[in-house]
Structure 1
Amino acid sequence: MLNGTEDEEKWLAEGIAGIQHNAFYMHRALDSNNLREALKYSAQMLSELRTSKLSPHKYYELYMRAFDELKRLELFFKDDSKHGVSVVDLYELVQHAGNILPRLYLLCTVGSIYIKSKEAPAKEVLKDLVEMCRGVQHPIRGLFLRSYLAQISRDKLPDIGSEYEGDADTVMDAVDFVLQNFTEMNKLWVRMQHQGPGGVREKREKERSELQDLVGKNLHVLSQIEGVDLEMYKETVLPRVLEQVVNCKDDLAQYYLMDCIIQVFPDEYHLQTLETLLGACPQLQPTVDVKTVLSRLMDRLSNYAASSADVLPEFLQVEAFSKLSNAIGKVIEAQLDMPAVGAITLYVSLLTFTLRVHPDRLDHVDQVLGACVKKLSNIPKLEDSRAMKQVVALLSAPLEKYNDIVTALTLSNYPRVMDHLDIGTNKLMAMVIIQSIMKNNSCISTADKLEEEDFKEEQNSVARLIHMLYNDEPEEMLKIICIVRKHTMVGGPKRLPFTVSSLVFSALRLLRQLQGQEGDIVGEEASMTPNKIFQLLTQIIESLSAVPSPELALRLYLQCAEAANGCDIEHVAYEFFTQAFLLYEEEIADSKAQVTAIHLIIGTLQRMNVFGVENRDTLTHKATGYSARLLKKADQCRAVYACSHLFWVDDQDGIKDGERVLLCLKRALRIANAAQQMANVARGSGGPVSLFVEILNKYIYFFEKGNKQITSSAIQGLIELINTEMQSDSTNPDSVADAFLASTLRYIQFQKQKGGVMGEKFESIKL
C-alpha cells in the first residue's frame, strides 16, 4: 500500500535512477560488442520493472524509460555480426536470465527479431511468447509486459498478404494470438480490483480506468487484420470476445469493452451480427451502464443508414428494429433497479433510430411509445426532472421528423405518454406542439384541439385583481397581502412572475400608507413597522428563485431599496442592493440583460441618499467594476461614464467628488478609443465615433455644474480628437454621429453667445 504521493515520487525517482545506471553500462557493453555484459546489465535494468510500489500512472513512466532502452538493445540484437550469435541461439540464451520479468521482456525483444529472420514460422514464435508471458501474474507488471508483446508483434502477424503469411490457416493463427493476449490482459486488468484493502475501491477503479486502453488496443489490432472478414468475425472473433466480456463479471471492463467493440469494428459487421451482440447485453452486470452502450450502437447504425440509401434493405433483411426493441425490453427486465430516466433514454434512442431508418413505419413509432407507456405504468408518479426531459424528447421527435402534428397525434400511444407528465411539463409539451403547428402552418380541423387557454391574458387578469385589493387600515391590508401571497405562491413557475410583481407593489403601497401616518413609524413598539414589511418583501421576491426569473427579481430588489431609502433605513437598503448584485453576478448571463441591469443599478444608486460614506463607496465600487467588465466595448464605455454621476449628485452636498468623476470619464475615453481601434481594424466598418460625442456631452455637463477637474482645455482637446477621427480615411461616414456632434457644438456656441458667468466659462473653447 502506498504511503502517499511523496513516497511514490521517491520510489519512481529511485527506479528511474536504477534504469539509467544499468543502461549506462549496457550502452558501454553494446559499444564494445560485449553480448554477455549487455545481457547482464539489460536484465538488471529491466529488474526495476519488478516494483509493486507504484500506481499505474507512475509505473507507466518507469516502463517508458525501459521501453526506450529496449529499442536500442533490439538494434544490437539484429546485427549478429556484432555479437556473433545466431538468432536461434540468442532466443535460447536470453531465457537464462535470473528473474522471470526481465527474462520475458528480453525474450519478446529477441522474439521480434526471430520472426523477422523467418528462421521459424511467425505463428510458432508468437504462440511461444504469448504462453510464456503467463509466468507473470502480477496485474500491473503482467499488463505492461503483454502490452509490450502486442506492440512489438502488431506488424509481424501472419495476416493475409503479410510477409509472415503462412499456410491456409494463417489468419486464424494471427486471430488466436491476439485473442489469447487480449483474454489474458483482461483477466489481469479485472484482477486489479481485488488488490489492496477494500476501503480504497474508488481509487483502484480510477487506476484501472487509466489502463483500459492497454486492453482495448488488442481489439483495435483485431479490427485491422486484413483476413478478418465478416464470416470470421461472426463465427470466431465476436463470440470469443463477448465470451470474455460476459464471463469477467466486472462492470468497468464490461462497459468499456462493449463500447470498444462498437467503436472499432465496421458498421456492416454490427448490422450482420446484431443478434449476437445484443444477446450479451442482458447478461452484463446490473451496474453496467447498458443504456449508453445501446444508445451508441443505435446512433452508429442510424448514421450508417443515413450514409447511403443502398444499405437500407440490409436493415430490413436483418430485422434490425425488431432485434433492438427485443434487446431493450430484455435489458429493462433484467435490470430491475434501472431508474425511469435510463429506460426512457433507451426508448428515445430507439425512436430516433426508427425515425431515421424506417420513417414510413408509423407502427414502429407507436410501438416504442407503447413500450414507454408500459414502463411508466409501473411508476406511481413520474417526479424525476431528467426523466421528464427525456419524455419530452421522446414526444418531440415525431413532431420534428414528420413536420405534421396530425400525423403525430394519430399515434394511439402519443396521448397515453403525455398522461404521465405533470401539469408543468404537460404545458411545456403543449407549447412544443403549438410551435410545431405554427412553424409548419399545420391546419387544425377539429374543435377538440382548441382547448388551450390564453395563459398570458389569464395571469394579467390575476395581477390586475391583486392591485384592486385595498384597505385603508394597514393591519387589515397586511392580512390581505399575506392571504393573497399564500394562494399565489403555489401557482407554479410560469404564474409567479405575474403575481409576485403585483404582490411587491401592493406591499410597497402599504409602506407608503405607513409613512403617511403620524407618529414614529419605525418604532419597535408599533404593531407593524417598515422593517416587518421589508422582511415580507424579501420573502416574496425570493420565491422567484424557483422560477427562475433573475432579471425581474433584480428590478424588484432595486424598487425595494428605493423604498428603504424613503424610510431612511440604511441597512435594509444595503441588503436589497446586495441581493441585486448577487443576482447580477450569479444568474444574469445574457450580455443585453447585463447592460440593462447595470444601468438600472447605477440609476437607482444615484438616487439614494440614505447611505453613509463606507456603504456608498462599497456599492459604487462594485457598480463601476461591473460596468468595466461588460462584454461589448460600447456597452462598457456607456456604463462607465454613467457611473460618473454616482460621484456628483446635485441635491446631496456631500457627494461632489470631481476627481473621481474625471477618472470615470477618462476611463470611458480609453474604452472608446480601444473600440475605435478595433473597428478600424475591421475593414468596411465605421468606428463608434458617437461614443466620443457622448463622452463630450458628459464633460460639458460636469463643466457647467462647476466640477473644477473638468476644464475648458479638456473639452477643447476632446472636440479636436472627434474631428480628427471623423476625418480619418478608415472611418465610414456616420450621419447620426455627425448630427449629434453638430447639435453639441451649437449648444456650446449658444452658451458662449448668452454671456454672463456661463458664457465666460465657455468663451475659451474654440469651435
Structure 2
Amino acid sequence: MYKETVLPRILEQVVNCKDEIAQGYLMDCIIQVFPDEYHLQTLETLLGACPLLQPSVDIKMVLARLMERLSNYAALSTDVLPEFFQVEAFAKLNSAIGKVIEAQEDMPIAGVVTLYSSLLTFTLHVHPDRLDYVDQILGACVKKLSGKGKLKDSIATKQIVALLSAPLEKYKDIDTALKLSNYPHVMEHLDDTTSKEMANVLVQTILKNKTCISTDEKVEALFELMKGLIRDLDENLHDEFDAEDFKEEQNSVSRLIQMLHNDDPEEMLKIICTVKKHIVTGGPKRLPFTVPPLIFISLKLVRRLQNQDENAPEEETSAIPKKIFQILNQIIEALSSVPVPELALRLYLECAEAANDSDLEPVAYEFFTQAYILYEEEISDSKAQVTAIQLIIGTLQRMHIFGVENRDTLTHKATGYSAKLLKKPDQCKAVYSCSHLFWIDDQDSIKDGERVLLCLKRALRIANAAQQMSNATRGSSGSVLLFIEILNKYLYFYEKGVTQITVASIQSLIELITTEMQSENKTADPAADALLASTLRYIQFQKDKGGAVGEKYESIKS
C-alpha cells in the first residue's frame, strides 16, 4: 500500500505545491516518519521526486538525511544487507546525486562534497568490501573539483577532510587508502595548512594501528600524501609557527620512518631510496628530525645482512651494504644545509662503526674522515668540541678493521684535537681518554704500552699547567681532581699488565696528590676528597682480595 498508493500520492502533492519551504519540510517528514525498510524498498520512487522539486530547495540535505538513515539501518544488523544489494541502493543513490548536481548548476562546491561524503559514509556501512565503490565516489568528487585549484572555502575544506578521513576510520588500515587511486587527487585540492593536518591524520592512523608499510610503491604513495609534513610547503607563512606542534609532527614522521620494513633486502633498499628522495627536499627545519631515523633503519638493514648468510661469498654479502653506505653519505651531507654539525658528526661515527662491523675498511675510514672534516671546519663551540672528541675517541676504540697506517693516522688526529681544546681540564681528560686507543684487550695488535704511558704523562703535564693557573687565581682543587682521575687510569693500565706503568710511578702520583690535598693554599673540594677516598679503598680491596692481582697491589703504599 505504501509503495503503490501512499508514497506516490504524497510525492505528487509535494511536487505540485511548488512551495520551496513546504517541499523541503515535507520531504524531511517522509524520511523521518516512515520505517527504514519502506525507504529501502521505495528508493527509486523517492529519489525520482528530488530533481522535480524547486531549484531553491536544499536537496543535498534531503539526500544526506536519507543516506544517514539508511546507513544507521545497515549498521544495526548485517541481516539487512542483502536487501540493499537486492535493490541496488548504491547505484540508485549515486545516480540520484549525479542528477541533482547536474540539475543545480549553481550548487556550491561545499554542497557537492557534502553529498559525496554522505554517499561514502553509506557505502562504507553497506558495502565495506567494495573499494571500487569508494574509489568511484572519490573520482566523481575529483571531477567536480577539477579546475577549482586549492579550495578557499572552509566549509568545503572541512567536508573534504571528512570525506578523506572516513575510509581511515572504517578500515583502520592505511594500506586500504593507498589502494584508492583517486585519494591523492582529492587531497590535491586542500590548502597547505589543511593538507598538513590531513597528512598528520594519516601518520597518526599508521602509528595507532602499528601498520607496517612494506613495499616501495606504498611508501611512494604514502609520502606523496604526506608531503604537507615532509616538505616546506609553508614558506610564505609567518615565522611565528608553533614550535612545539612542529616538533611533535616531525617526531611522528620519524616514528613512522622507523616502522618501514621489508624482509627482502632489495625491496628494503628501494624503500630507503624512496624515503631519501622525499626527505632531502624537506628543508632545514625538518632534516634534523627525518635524517636520523632513515640512517638508523638503513644501519638496521646493514646489520641484518651482516648476521645473515655469514657463509655466503663476500661479494654477495657486501654489495647491498656498500650501496647503503653510499646513500648514507649523501643523506648526512644533506644536513650541511641546516647546518647541524654535531648531529652530522654523530651520524658519521655511527656509520663508521657499522662499516667496521661489515668489514669495510675504506668505507669506515671515509666516514671517519668526514667526521674529522666537520670537527675541524664546523664545530667551534668549546662544549660541543669536548663532546665530539669523546665520541670520536669512544668510537675509534671500538674499531677493529683498520690497518696500522689508517689507525695511526686517525689516532694521531684524535690526540692532536684533544691537546688543542680550549680549557686545560678538558684537554687533560681528552688526552688521558686517548690512552685507551693504544691498549685494547681483545686486539693483540693494539697493545702499545709506550704510547699509553706517553698519553698519561702528557695528561699529567696538562694537569700540572692547570694547577699552576689555579695557584695564580688564589687556589682551587680542580687540578687535584684531574691528578686523581689520571691516577685511576694508571691503576687501570697497571692492572691490565702494561709493563711501562710501574709501582714507582703510581706511588709518586699518590704522594703528589696527598701533598696537594694537604696544602694550605687549597680550598676544600668534596668531589676530590670522595674520589681519592674511593680510589684508596679500591687499592686496599685488591690487596685484601689476594691472588695475582692482590700481589700486584701489595707493593703500593696507600
- Deviating above 2 A after TM superposition, structure 1's stretches of 4 or more consecutive aligned residues are 421-427, 519-529, 683-688
| Residue identity opposite 1:430 in structure 2 | E
Q: Distance in 2 between matches of 1:726 and 1:638?
A: 20
1:489–1:752: structure 2 CA closer, same or farther, 3 Å change rule?
same
1:527–1:630: structure 2 CA closer, same or farther, 3 Å change rule?
closer
Q: Give the aligned partner of residue 702 of structure 1.
A: 493
Q: Give the aligned partner of residue 495 of structure 1.
A: 286
Superposed, which structure 2 residues align to 1:7-406 within 5 Å? none
Select 1:723's aligned residue among 490, 506, 514.
514
- Note the alpha carbon deviations across 1:53-80, whole angstroms, 9 max, x for none: xxxxxxxxxxxxxxxxxxxxxxxxxxxx
1:760–1:453: structure 2 CA closer, same or farther, 3 Å change rule?
closer
Q: Give the aligned partner of residue 63 of structure 2.
A: none
Q: Give the aligned partner of residue 603 of structure 1.
A: 394
Q: Give the aligned partner of residue 194 of structure 1.
A: none
1:620–1:425: structure 2 CA closer, same or farther, 3 Å change rule?
farther
Q: Give the aligned partner of residue 435 of structure 1.
A: none
Q: Give the aligned partner of residue 648 of structure 1.
A: 439
- Note the alpha carbon deviations across 1:12-69, whole angstroms, 9 max, x for none: xxxxxxxxxxxxxxxxxxxxxxxxxxxxxxxxxxxxxxxxxxxxxxxxxxxxxxxxxx
- Corresponding residue SS for 1:589: coil
1:632–1:425: structure 2 CA closer, same or farther, 3 Å change rule?
farther
Task: Note if 1:471 corresponds to 2:262.
Answer: yes
Answer yes or no: is the 8 Å Cα contact 1:605–1:646 preserved in 2: yes
Q: Give the aligned partner of residue 119 of structure 2.
A: none
Select 1:754's aligned residue among 517, 540, 545.
545
- Corresponding residue SS for 1:654: coil
Q: Give the aligned partner of residue 518 of structure 1.
A: 309
Q: Distance in 2 between matches of 1:707 and 1:430?
A: 60
Q: Distance in 2 between matches of 1:745 and 1:462?
A: 52
1:513–1:705: structure 2 CA closer, same or farther, 3 Å change rule?
same
Q: Give the aligned partner of residue 618 of structure 1.
A: 409
Shift of 1:516: 2.6
Superposed, which structure 2 residues align to 1:629-708 within 5 Å? 629-683=420-474, 685-708=476-499
1:519–1:704: structure 2 CA closer, same or farther, 3 Å change rule?
closer
Q: Give the aligned partner of residue 578 of structure 1.
A: 369
Select 1:430's aligned residue among 217, 227, 240.
240
Task: Note if 1:545 corresponds to 2:336.
Answer: yes
Shift of 1:737: 0.3
1:527–1:650: structure 2 CA closer, same or farther, 3 Å change rule?
closer
Shift of 1:688: 2.4
Identity of aligned residues (%): 72
Select 1:532's aligned residue among 323, 326, 346.
323
| Residue identity opposite 1:745 in structure 2 | L
- Note the alpha carbon deviations across 1:662-711, whole angstroms, 9 max, x for none: 00000000001111110111126444211000000000000000000000
Answer yes or no: is the 8 Å Cα contact 1:562–1:604 preserved in 2: yes
Q: Distance in 2 between matches of 1:733 and 1:580?
A: 41
Q: Distance in 1 between matches of 2:420 and 2:462?
A: 11
1:648–1:485: structure 2 CA closer, same or farther, 3 Å change rule?
same
Answer yes or no: is the 8 Å Cα contact 2:349–2:392 preserved in 1: yes
1:510–1:741: structure 2 CA closer, same or farther, 3 Å change rule?
same
> TM-score, normalized by length of structure 1?
0.41
1:760–1:685: structure 2 CA closer, same or farther, 3 Å change rule?
closer
Shift of 1:557: 0.5
Q: Distance in 1 between matches of 2:234 and 2:381?
A: 29
| Residue identity opposite 1:697 in structure 2 | N
| Residue identity opposite 1:614 in structure 2 | E
1:740–1:514: structure 2 CA closer, same or farther, 3 Å change rule?
same
Q: Distance in 2 between matches of 1:588 and 1:497?
A: 16
- Note the alpha carbon deviations across 1:631-664, whole angstroms, 9 max, x for none: 1100000000000000000000111100100000
Answer yes or no: is the 8 Å Cα contact 1:521–1:529 preserved in 2: no
1:476–1:631: structure 2 CA closer, same or farther, 3 Å change rule?
same
Q: Distance in 1 between matches of 2:378 and 2:358?
A: 29
Q: Give the aligned partner of residue 740 of structure 1.
A: 531
Answer yes or no: is the 8 Å Cα contact 1:753–1:759 preserved in 2: yes
Q: Distance in 2 between matches of 1:425 and 1:719?
A: 66
1:720–1:584: structure 2 CA closer, same or farther, 3 Å change rule?
same
1:591–1:724: structure 2 CA closer, same or farther, 3 Å change rule?
same
Q: Give the aligned partner of residue 127 of structure 2.
A: none
Greater relative contact order (Cα 8 A, min sep 6): structure 1 or 2? 2
Answer yes or no: is the 8 Å Cα contact 1:475–1:528 preserved in 2: no
| Residue identity opposite 1:532 in structure 2 | K
Shift of 1:483: 1.1
Q: Distance in 2 between matches of 1:453 and 1:718?
A: 52
Answer yes or no: is the 8 Å Cα contact 1:523–1:529 preserved in 2: no
1:425–1:660: structure 2 CA closer, same or farther, 3 Å change rule?
farther
- Corresponding residue SS for 2:240: helix
Shift of 1:751: 1.2
How many residues in Structure 1 have an aligned counterpart in Structure 2? Answer: 327
Q: Distance in 2 between matches of 1:652 and 1:453?
A: 47
Shift of 1:524: 4.3
1:704–1:484: structure 2 CA closer, same or farther, 3 Å change rule?
same
RMSD of the alignment, in Å?
2.0
Answer yes or no: is the 8 Å Cα contact 2:424–2:463 preserved in 1: yes
1:425–1:689: structure 2 CA closer, same or farther, 3 Å change rule?
farther
1:730–1:488: structure 2 CA closer, same or farther, 3 Å change rule?
same
- Corresponding residue SS for 1:531: helix
Q: Distance in 2 between matches of 1:510 and 1:691?
A: 43
Shift of 1:603: 0.3
- Note the alpha carbon deviations across 1:546-602, whole angstroms, 9 max, x for none: 111111110000000110111111111100000000000000010000000000000
Q: Distance in 2 between matches of 1:527 and 1:676?
A: 52
| Residue identity opposite 2:432 in structure 1 | Y
- Corresponding residue SS for 2:271: helix
Answer yes or no: is the 8 Å Cα contact 2:265–2:301 preserved in 1: yes
Q: Give the aligned partner of residue 129 of structure 1.
A: none
| Residue identity opposite 2:553 in structure 1 | F
Shift of 1:526: 7.0
Q: What residue ranges of structure 1 are gaps of 5+ in the alignment? A: 1-420, 432-450
Answer yes or no: is the 8 Å Cα contact 2:477–2:528 preserved in 1: no
- Note the alpha carbon deviations across 1:106-149, whole angstroms, 9 max, x for none: xxxxxxxxxxxxxxxxxxxxxxxxxxxxxxxxxxxxxxxxxxxx
1:612–1:764: structure 2 CA closer, same or farther, 3 Å change rule?
same
| Residue identity opposite 1:763 in structure 2 | E
Q: Give the aligned partner of residue 123 of structure 2.
A: none
Report the structure number with the largest CA radius of gyration: 1
- Corresponding residue SS for 1:476: helix
Q: Give the aligned partner of residue 713 of structure 1.
A: 504
Answer yes or no: is the 8 Å Cα contact 1:515–1:521 preserved in 2: no
| Residue identity opposite 2:543 in structure 1 | K
1:681–1:521: structure 2 CA closer, same or farther, 3 Å change rule?
farther
1:452–1:592: structure 2 CA closer, same or farther, 3 Å change rule?
closer
Q: What residue ranges of structure 2 are gaps of 5+ in the alignment? A: 1-231
Q: Give the aligned partner of residue 557 of structure 2.
A: 766
